[in-house]
Amino acid sequence: MAWASSIDAFFKNFKRESQILSEETITLIKCHIQKNDLQGALSVIHSALRDIESAPLNIAVTGETGTGKSTFINALMGIGQEDEGAAPTGVTETTKERMPYPHPKLPQVTIWDLPGTGSTSFPPESYLKTMKFSEYDFFVIISASRFKENDAQLAKAIAMMKMNFYFVRTKIDNDLANEQRSKPKTFSKENVLKTIRDDCSKHLKKYFSGKPQIFLVSNFDVSDYDFPKLQTTLLGELPAHKRHVFMLSLNSVTEATINLKRDSLKQKVFLEALKAGALATIPLVGMIRDELQDLNETFNLYRSYFGLDDASLENIAKDFNMSMDELKVHLRFPNLFAEDSNVSLGKKLLNYIELISSITGGPFAVRFYYRKTYYLQNLFLETAANDAIALLNREALFEEKMGPYISKAPDYWE
Ligand code: GDP
């Protein structure tokens, strides 16, 4: 059946680290469709969507005080060090308890700040038990210098529990600056990074037989060094249904992360459209009116995932000494909502559906509605992702002399 192979083709389009359905789930949906069992396909899609939306994600970050653990947690979540909900940085006090940091935009995601093993004097196994190791999806072990024996033994214990861990070496920017200052003639960034990587690896290998995954990062420059690679590695190694929420929780610091978010959301929109398409039965304009409300909420969520929510935009506007209106001139998404003759996009859609409904009165209106909302969500996703990418290079964006690009309303509104 053409439908089944187009589903397969759609999901195969995406890179592994952005796929939100497992191979098994895709195969299962395909099998149901091939057997003409729409109800079966629908129930797989339904439970896949439920898993994707509600999958909890708990990340353990461990390391000694002063290594940059709190700064790393904030960098991973995309929170400014001084924002509300940020992990407090530069605090020298050591606690023996784990501290939860819920993600400010995604309640399913919590990053846990675990005390370093050195400060608890527990052997690794009891440390893991006390820290409730089974609750985490993976561990990040942080060091600001070479990794120590403690770190390697902890990793070994985590591996015994069949869980994933990643070594993160912070403050790389400091090391590079110091080397450059002390050896300005022979300084080579690549050589310094290689030396640090080899040194960490050598120390870990003394205690730990596997090939350790080491990421050299600067928490102040998350679009550089190994931070982006860390993000894609974590995504690639998470189970598929957990990727969506992790992807959304990530700081949109590179074009690659923004593209991953867009791809992840595209798959979700596609699944929702499949579900809605299979469900489309009786057209009820009232129900559609409620759903339009949801559509608005969906758009607002997308904005916040891409850092285009009002709070984020206000911060950017303040940085550049401009008003919100001046800032929005440079972005495309507000044009999608621009009201000409006081009629919003949603209202136009509703009017259209009411009109078609009154003429045909049939299920055509519903099919039309789902096709258009699917189209709109994709249009919005593309626009929001492009705006977020443009904002990454905001200096260049604001200097543009050409003026803004105005998205024209699609022809079918006319
Ligand atoms: P924690 O005690 O491990 O939570 O460490 P903090 O996150 O409070 O960081 C300790 C200090 O190191 C603070 O002054 C941070 O600003 C600084 N710091 C953290 N990460 C980095 C980094 O990647 N580069 C540099 N240069 N400084 C960092």
pLDDT at 186: 93
Is any atom of ligand 1 closer than 6 Å to the C-beta of 89?
A: yes
pLDDT at 283: 42
Whether 94 and 185 share a structural domain: yes
Residue 308 belongs to a domain: yes
Residue 37 belongs to a domain: no
Q: How far is the CA of 75 from the centre of ligand 1 (A)?
A: 11
Query: Do you know the residue count of the chain?
Result: 414
CB atoms within 10 A of CB 224: 14
Whether 268 and 340 share a structural domain: yes
Last residue of a domain, one of 190, 213, 238: 238
pLDDT at 111: 95
Residue nearest to atom 25 of ligand 1 (CA): 171
**Ramachandran angles phi, psi of 224, nearest 5°:** -120, 180
Q: In what order do the strands lie in the sheet with 164-169?
A: 99-102, 109-115, 57-63, 138-143, 164-169, 214-216
Nearest to 331 by CA among 378, 252, 388, 283: 388
Whether 335 and 368 share a structural domain: yes
Whether 87 and 228 share a structural domain: yes
Q: How far is the CA of 66 from the centre of ligand 1 (A)?
A: 6
pLDDT at 94: 66
Is any atom of ligand 1 closer than 6 Å to the C-beta of 86?
A: no
Residues 154/63, Cβ–Cβ less than 8 Å: no
Whether 256 and 215 share a structural domain: no
- pLDDT tens string 49-59: 999 988 999 99
Structure tokens at 229: 């690679």
Whether 258 and 394 share a structural domain: yes
Whether 204 and 344 share a structural domain: no
* Residue carrying the six token digits 């389009």: 13
Residue 133 belongs to a domain: yes
| DSSP-based three-state secondary structure for 346 | helix
Is any atom of ligand 1 closer than 6 Å to the C-beta of 110?
A: no
Whether 199 and 309 share a structural domain: no
Is any atom of ligand 1 closer than 6 Å to the C-beta of 262?
A: no
pLDDT at 88: 87
Is any atom of ligand 1 closer than 6 Å to the C-beta of 209?
A: no
**pLDDT string in tens for the chain (414-residue length):** 566 677 878 888 888 888 999 999 999 988 888 888 878 888 898 899 999 988 999 999 999 989 999 999 999 988 877 878 888 887 776 677 899 999 988 889 999 999 998 877 788 889 999 999 999 999 999 999 888 888 988 999 999 889 999 999 999 999 999 999 999 999 999 999 999 999 999 888 887 777 889 999 999 998 889 999 999 899 989 999 999 999 888 887 788 889 989 999 999 888 887 777 655 543 444 555 556 666 777 788 888 888 888 888 998 888 888 899 888 888 888 877 665 545 566 666 666 666 655 655 555 555 666 667 777 788 888 888 999 998 888 777 777 544 444 444 444 333
Whether 185 and 212 share a structural domain: yes
Residue 24 belongs to a domain: no
Q: How far is the CA of 67 from the centre of ligand 1 (A)?
A: 6
pLDDT at 404: 44
Which residues constitute the domain of residue 159?
A: 57-238
* Residue carrying the six token digits 């820290």: 131
Question: In angstroms, rounded to a whole number, what is the distance separating the alpha carbons of residues 321 and 324?
Answer: 10
Under DSSP, the state recorded for 343 is B
Last residue of a domain, one of 205, 238, 271: 238
**Which ligand 1 atom is at minimum distance from the Cα of 65?**
2
Beta bridge partners of 142: 168
Residue nearest to atom 22 of ligand 1 (CA): 171
pLDDT at 214: 95
- Residue 199: CATH number of its domain: 3.40.50.300
Last residue of a domain, one of 238, 260, 294: 238
Q: How far is the CA of 138 from the centre of ligand 1 (A)?
A: 22
Chain Cα centroid distance, residue 218: 19
Q: How many domains is the chain built from? A: 2
Residue 26 belongs to a domain: no
* Residue carrying the six token digits 């964006």: 397
Is any atom of ligand 1 closer than 6 Å to the C-beta of 65?
A: yes
User: In sequence order, which residues have a C-beta less than 8 Å from that of residue 56 and are 6 or more positions away?
Assistant: 108, 109, 110
pLDDT at 338: 62
Whether 258 and 216 share a structural domain: no
Residue 408 belongs to a domain: no
pLDDT at 304: 84
Is any atom of ligand 1 closer than 6 Å to the C-beta of 224?
A: no
Long-range contacts of 320-329 (CB under 8 A, 24+ apart): 320/394, 320/398, 322/398, 329/403, 329/404
Whether 126 and 13 share a structural domain: no
C-alpha distance from residue 15 to each of 202, 240, 260, 373 (Å): 33, 12, 8, 25
Residue 224 belongs to a domain: yes
Burial class (CB in 10 A: 0-12, 13-18, 19+), 267: buried
Residue 376 belongs to a domain: yes
Whether 93 and 67 share a structural domain: yes
Is any atom of ligand 1 closer than 6 Å to the C-beta of 309?
A: no
Q: How far is the CA of 71 from the centre of ligand 1 (A)?
A: 6
**Could you tell me the pTM of the whole model?**
0.82
Is any atom of ligand 1 closer than 6 Å to the C-beta of 173?
A: yes
Is any atom of ligand 1 closer than 6 Å to the C-beta of 354?
A: no
| DSSP-based three-state secondary structure for 62 | strand
